[in-house]
Every structure is written in structure tokens, then in C-alpha cells.
Structure 1
Amino acid sequence: MKAYIFPGQGAQFSGMGADLYEKSAEAKDLFQQGNDILGFKITDIMFEGTAEDLKQTKVTQPAIFLHSVILSKVLGDSFKPDMVAGHSLGEFSALVANKVLNFEDGLKLVFKRAQAMQEACELEPSTMAAVLGLEDEVVEEICSETEGIVVAANYNCPGQLVISGEVDAVEKACVALKDRGARRAMILPVGGAFHSPLMEPARKDLAAAIENTHFNKPICPVYQNVTTSAVSNPDEIRKNLEYQLTSPVKWTQSVQNMIKDGASEFIEVGPGKVLQGLVKKIDRNAETSSAEI
């Protein structure tokens, strides 16, 4: 069975999507629609902007979404997923690819998400840190024992977890994690505490937009970050999406469930190969590739 997977923030690179734009008339039309919906020429930043230009949250998230979704659309008849999943932001790309959301609604939600997250980041100093070489349970235990808000945010693969929260609490947790044997516990260059309780203001903003968006029945199940299991009911998909910003990204568990349910091939749709690397670390026998036209 084929599982199509969609990357999240961090996968962007200068020049992303330019080859698609040049090769496909359908892609060119969709990129231009994207510019119109957003109200600015994101294609200029994607194709010609610097890495610094692409790091702005209001650019990064719609840029990755556009690259992934447009690639899935120009694959045409060869795009036949048995299941889909996306890492954080990538879940929105997955939901457009499997027909739950239409292109315009998906892009509007992603742009709203980016703006809401940016505003939440400005309310309180917060950050994230990557933790390598410890079991998930140990990281969870130290987060729960640390004073202040700090939680496990991204379960990327065994031995690689990201924590998120208040700056002081994350820094204290990093010290404790190193004391417990973490190979690394390093602060990440991000604008805020994504997938933590500090994103509650953004969750409320995004939930209102999600409630006003039409969700269709998917063409195949989606394995959502919040629940990690196959979901096909549009109302369940909507509810899980609303809580994604304040809940952890359970990528390890999602991939394990996809494999348990029959996934033998994982095809990454969008910029980079980050998710293929994570899948291999979760199960080295899994077959991985990049979608190409």
C-alpha cells in the first residue's frame, strides 16, 4: 500500500517550486491562483528569495503548502494514495491532496494558521529544543518535573524528540535532559513554542476559521498528528485539526500505525527529504521515495 506524506515547516529552500512552475502549465496556473488568494506574489519569494526571506512564518507555511499540493495535483493519475499523513503544517497539504479541503480553502487556512501562530509567538517569549538520544518516556518525565510550561511537542522518530514551552522552562529542561544522558538538547532557532499550551490563542483563532470551512469525505484515510490512527470522518478530521496547534505531533506513532495497517511504500510530496529520513529511522525496512513529475 502507498502512503503519501507531506512535510512541514523547515523543509523550505530557496528556489523551491520553480521547476514545477516551468514544467507544468497546470502548476503555473495554480501558483498564480495562490498569489491571488494570498494577495502577494509568494512565487517571487519562493523562486528568487533568500533563505532569510523564506523563514518568515507568513511565507514559510503557505510556500511549503503550495509546493506540496501543486506537486500532488500535477502528478495526475499516478497519484493514487491508499493513505496520507502530514507533519504539522503538512497535514493541511495532505487534506487537500486527499480531497477533504479544496485548494483555495486549504491555502486560506494555512495563511490564517501562520498569522495566528505569529501573533501567539509575540505574546510571550517561548521556544523549542531538539532532544537526541533519550527514550520518549524520560523526556516526558523531565518535562513534567520542570517548573513552568514545557512539553513534548514533536515525536519525530525514536530517540529524536522536540520539546516546546516558555524559554526559562525549556532551558532548565535541557540541562536536566543532558544530566539524564541526552546526546544533545539544543535550543532551536524558532519564533515560539509550537504544539504547546502557549499556542492556545492561535488555536482559538484557527478553530473559528476551520469551523467556517467545508470539509468533504476523503478519498483515503488520513493519519492525523493528534490521534495517529486512520480517520475518514470529516467531522473527526475537523476536530482533530482544531487541536493540532496545542497538541504534540505524534509522527513516530502515525508512521508505525500506517505500517501496521499495510503501508509498504512512503512517498514524500513537497520540498526536501526530511520525512523519508524519519520514516527510515522508524522502520528501516520501509521503502521511501520523493514524488516527481
Structure 2
Amino acid sequence: MSLALLFPGQGSQRCGMLGELPGSAAAQAVLDEARAWLDDHGLPANLDDEAVLRDTTAAQIALLITGVACARTLGDDYALRPQVVAGHSVGAFAAAVCAGVLTLPEALAAVALRGELMSAACAHGEWGMAAVIGLPTRAVGRLADRLHTELWVANVNTATQTVLAGSLTALRTAAGAAQAAGAADFTMLDVVVASHCPVQSDTARRMAEHLSRLPRRIPSVRYLTNTGGRAVRTADAVLDDLAESVARPVQWYDATRLAPELGVTCAVEVLPGHVLTRLNAVNAPSVLSLSLSDNGFERTSTLVRRMRD
């Protein structure tokens, strides 16, 4: 059996999610280390409060902390250590920590910078993202090209689920056009920035400069990239992906379809949510896909062990 850990991105955050973490020594150690870093940098420790989570930076840091705490609990308390890691958007930073490419403080600093730069890039105007369900990605891309100069394909999640990023004006126009073209659904996401598109080009450049100063550590497991949906095993490839993906579409469909070819037989999505589990069930039906939100740590570990045995 080969295990993949999946780390969700912004949009999956929810109020109180840090409080949902288990009371394990591993999770507590992550929380203590993160709170010390937050205190040193003048950031609030109550990142998962409803009002605080509206801030892009706070939401992304909270997702990072949650992801790392879950991964370490699975490893330390349940002996479930992955052979492959994949993170959707900001979830990739937790994946990079799990792979040993970044330390938690390095990831916290990088994600804090990323959130600040993303917010600054969208400070003028109103921006957002929306999921289009029921149309092929190519059709959604043509729709975006035809409709508006401030509208781009941002995530390719499945063959028929694509996320658009752009101005709210462009997204409102896209909603009607997508439904007229036969889309089953058009849903605005819980984000106030446009990510994975040219709006964030300067963010990607600044992130690359920041990450270039970090030590290079060989990944301990395979890391699936956002930018290409491929498996990499070098620090440079991981760090390049972390920098570039903020301005390029997330190729989640390709990444999850590749996983079975790498021998992955089971995928566990860490807290919070189960969006990636549902996407994985569509993209890689041969893989047993489980979410900690739906199953908890005990049941998840039991199901994984049954498959292993």
C-alpha cells in the first residue's frame, strides 16, 4: 500500500478548525510552535475566529497549521506516513513541510508573505473566484477568453470542474454565460482575491525571491506540483512550484490522475473539509479516498490499516 496525504487550500477554511485538532502531543507541539511564531511576528493566535478568517493571510496560515498538525499526528500517533504529498494552492506549503523541504517556521513566514502580497495585488477593485461545474475545462477557457480581459482559468479540478478567477464584474458575467452554455452549477468561493492568474504575477516574483534564500533540503517523499501536476523529488522543483503556482492555474486534475501511476492506493485528506476527497474519487476512482473531517483519526487509521493488511 502507498499512501498520499492531501492538503486543502483556501476556501476550505472554517470557523473553529484549529479547535478540531486532536489533543495529541504532535498536534499540540505544532500549535505551540506556531503560536510562538505568531506572537513574535505580532499576528493573532485566534486565526480560526470567524472575523479573523475573512483575512486572506489569516486563513492561509490557519490552513497551514492545521495541515501540518494533522500530518504529524497521523505519523506519530498512527504510524501513517505518506509516500506522496499534494497540496491544493496554499495547501502545497503544508505538503512541503510534510516532505521535509520547509520547516514550519519557514512555511509560516512564506505563507504570511504570500497572503499579504496576494491581498495587496487585489487591493484595487473587487476580485474573487468561482467554480464552474458541468463544462469541460476547454469550454470554460474559451468562455473566459471571450467574455472579459479580467477573467482566467485558475484551477482545473476535474475534467468538468474548473475554477475561474477575476474581477467580480467579470465573474457575474461569467455566471450567466456558463449557465447558458450548459453548466450544472456556478458557485462563488469564499475568497476575496483572484489567485492562480496574472493578477498575482508580482506575488510570484516576490515569493521566488523569498524562497531562493532558504536552505535546499531533499524531499523525503514525492511531491505533486500545482503548476504541472507532476511528481518531483528535488528541493528546487518544490520551491519553484510554491512560488510560481500563485500566478498559474492549479493542475489538480493531472496531479490526482498521476497518483495511481505512482502506486498510490489510498489518499487521506487532512482537516478541514472533504472537497479534495470528493475530487479524488472522481479523478482516481481506483484509490481509496478518505477525509479526516468525515471519518476522524481513529476510523481513518483503521480503514487504511485494513487496506494495508
TM-score normalised by L of structure 1: 0.91
Map 1:1-293 → 2, pairs under 5 A:
1-20=2-21, 23-39=23-39, 40=42, 42-46=44-48, 49=49, 51-77=50-76, 78-291=79-292, 292=297
Counterparts of 1:191 and 1:215 in 2: how far apart (Å)?
33
Work out the number of aligned pairs and report it. 289
The equivalent residue for 2:306 is none
Cα gap change, 1:67/1:187 in structure 2, threshold over 3 Å: closer, same or farther?
closer
Give the share of equivalent positions with the same residue, in percent.
28
Deviations 1:14-71 (A, max 9, x none): 22232536x223432321221221235644343xx2x333222121111111011022
Deviation at 1:123, TM superposition (A): 3.2
C-alpha deviation, 1:6, in angstroms: 0.7
**Could you say if the C-alpha distance between residues 279 and 118 of structure 1 is closer, same or farther in structure 2, counting changes exceeding 3 Å?**
same
- Match of 2:119, as an amino acid? Q
Partner SS, residue 170 of structure 1: helix
Equivalent position SS for 2:245: coil
- The amino acid of 2:24's aligned partner reads S
Q: Distance in 1 between matches of 2:13 and 2:176?
A: 30
**Stretch moving more, 230-239 or 162-171:** 162-171
The 3 A distance-change label for structure 1 pair 240 and 29 is closer
How far the C-alpha of 1:275 sits from its partner, in A, is: 1.1
In structure 2, list runs of 5 or more residues that go unmatched.
299-309
1:204 to partner: Cα distance: 2.4
Asked if the contact 1:69/1:270 (under 8 Å) is kept, the reply is no
TM-score by length of structure 2 reads 0.86
- 1:186 is displaced (CA, Å) by 4.0
- C-alpha deviations, 1:122-160, integer Å up to 9, x for none? 034322222111111111111122231311111122321
The 8 Å contact of residues 56 and 191 in structure 2, kept in 1 or not, is answered as no
Letter in 2 for 1:4: L
Q: Could you tell me how far apart the structure 1 residues matched to 2:43 and 2:243 are? A: 28
1:190–1:19: structure 2 CA closer, same or farther, 3 Å change rule?
closer
Check conservation: 2:196, 2:246, Cα contact below 8 A.
yes
Q: Tell me the C-alpha RMSD between the 2 structures.
A: 2.0
Distance in 2 (alpha carbons) for counterparts of 1:279 and 1:105: 29
1:4, CA displacement in angstroms?
1.0
Verify the 8 A CA contact 1:153 1:163 in the aligned structure 2: yes
Where structure 1 has 5 or more consecutive residues not aligned to the other structure, the ranges are none
